[in-house]
Amino acid sequence: MIWWPSEVPTLTYGTLTLRPSRESDIESIYQACQDPLISHFTTVPANYTLEHAQSFVRQLDPEGLQSKREIRFIIESNQGATPALAGVISFHSPNFNNKVAEIGYWIAKEHRGKSIGTTAVKVLTNFGFETMGWNRIEAMIDHDNEASKKVVTRAGYEHEGLLRQRVIRANGDVIDMDLFAVLQKNWQGLL
């Protein structure tokens, strides 16, 4: 059975914290989502507005948690003098009968290339297996997103195949996705 929390917990590992979103994150989320790579490789809308960020924190996060569609965390880096929003990570598209969830994330431009994404994926994967009870966690990544493929591979996920013409972007482009996954029985933990 999958355990689904009533509140988003705070998970800490080294200098990284995964925590619930809060009002004070709205401006940082808005600023980070001005990077065109985020909207190009994720479902974040192009032309991201402050209203999108407000809805993200005030409506989408609580509704996703309550409806058991998504549990989303802010990735906070504590490497500098003050904690900084480094990205967002979530479990979404859960299949409770088969104990399968999909992991998704984006990393703010100034925090890429610092192993923050890989560490966040490891922390959330560990929580998913050890606390929530998933048997399998998947990551579907745009075929052209080489950086993201490296993130999940370094976190212990294996490439399982190419899903041709799997996603239609808002602009009408049809793209291929690579499927990566890790199984609970093969999980090595946070090593």
Write the DSSP assignment of 128-145 as a string of letters.
IIIII--SEEEEEEETT-
CA dist 56 and 127 (Å) reads 23
3-state secondary structure of 123: helix
Convert the pLDDT of each residue in 112-125 to its tens digit.
999 999 999 999 99
- Residue 21's CATH number: 3.40.630.30
Please name the amino acid found at residue 80: G
Q: How high is the pLDDT of residue 38?
A: 92
Q: How is residue 4 written in tokens?
A: 């689904």
**24 lies in a domain?**
yes
In terms of residue numbers, what domain contains 84?
Answer: 11-134
Q: How high is the pLDDT of residue 58?
A: 96
**186 lies in a domain?**
no
pLDDT, the chain, mean: 94
**124 lies in a domain?**
yes
Considering only 6-10, 151-155, 173-177, which range has the smallest mean pLDDT?
173-177
Among 62, 54, 116, residue whose Cα is nearest residue 86: 116
Convert the pLDDT of each residue in 122-153 to its tens digit.
999 999 999 999 999 999 999 999 999 999 99
**163 lies in a domain?**
no
**185 lies in a domain?**
no
Q: How high is the pLDDT of residue 173?
A: 84
**142 lies in a domain?**
no
Q: How high is the pLDDT of residue 171?
A: 76
Q: How many domains does the chain have?
A: 1
**164 lies in a domain?**
no
For residue 190, pLDDT over 80 is answered with no
Query: What is this structure's pTM?
Result: 0.95
For residue 191, pLDDT over 70 is answered with no
Q: How high is the pLDDT of residue 168?
A: 87
Q: How high is the pLDDT of residue 46?
A: 87
